[in-house]
Structures are given as structure tokens and as C-alpha cells.
């Protein structure tokens, strides 16, 4: 078990949901695969998917929904399998 922090590679606005009415992509305690989407970053009028990068369990979010993010900033902590 190791902690993996998913980092933003783009500046913009972080979203935890695909649309305002939808359920979040993932919540704390959910299990994810490396290819699962954990959020979106909005930049240049487009939404860019953020992948978990590792298989494991979502431990915590480091940014609020609709929070501003910068490249290199931690978004989600995942405890890898």
C-alpha cells in the first residue's frame, strides 16, 4: 500500500462531476482502476479528464469542486493496491 497523489497538469477549474446534476465521478472510499476518471479540469472552454493513474482506493480530495488549480497541484490521494 502506497499513497499516490494525482496531480493537475493543466491550470483551470477542477470539477468532481461530469455535469452539475450528476453524481461525482468518485467519492472517498471508492475503488478505482488506473484508467478511471476522477475529475475534470476546465481550460480553454474544454473539459479535460483526469485519470486515477493507479488502481486503489480514493482516500481524499485535496481541492474542492470548482476550485482553481495549477499544474503540479495535488488533486486526489489514492491508496494504491
Interface contacts to other proteins, rule CB under 8 A: 9-13, 42-45, 48, 68-72
Least distance (Å) between residue 10 CB and other proteins? 5
DSSP-assigned letter for residue 47: E
The H or E element containing residue 4 is: strand 2-7
Distance CA 37, CA 60 (A): 15
Whose Cβ is closer to other proteins: residue 40's or residue 76's?
40
Least distance (Å) between residue 69 CB and other proteins? 8
Whose Cβ is closer to other proteins: residue 29's or residue 72's?
72
How many other CB atoms are there within 10 angstroms of residue 26's CB atom? 20
Amino acid at each position: 500500500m502506497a499513497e499516490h497523489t494525482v496531480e493537475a497538469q493543466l491550470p483551470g477549474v477542477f470539477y468532481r462531476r461530469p455535469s452539475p446534476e450528476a453524481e461525482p465521478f468518485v467519492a472517498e472510499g471508492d475503488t478505482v482502476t488506473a484508467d478511471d476518471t476522477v475529475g475534470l479540469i476546465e481550460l480553454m472552454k474544454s473539459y479535460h479528464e483526469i485519470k486515477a493513474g493507479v488502481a486503489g482506493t480514493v482516500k481524499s480530495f485535496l481541492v474542492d469542486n470548482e476550485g482553481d488549480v495549477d499544474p503540479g497541484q495535488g488533486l486526489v490521494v489514492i491508496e494504491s493496491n
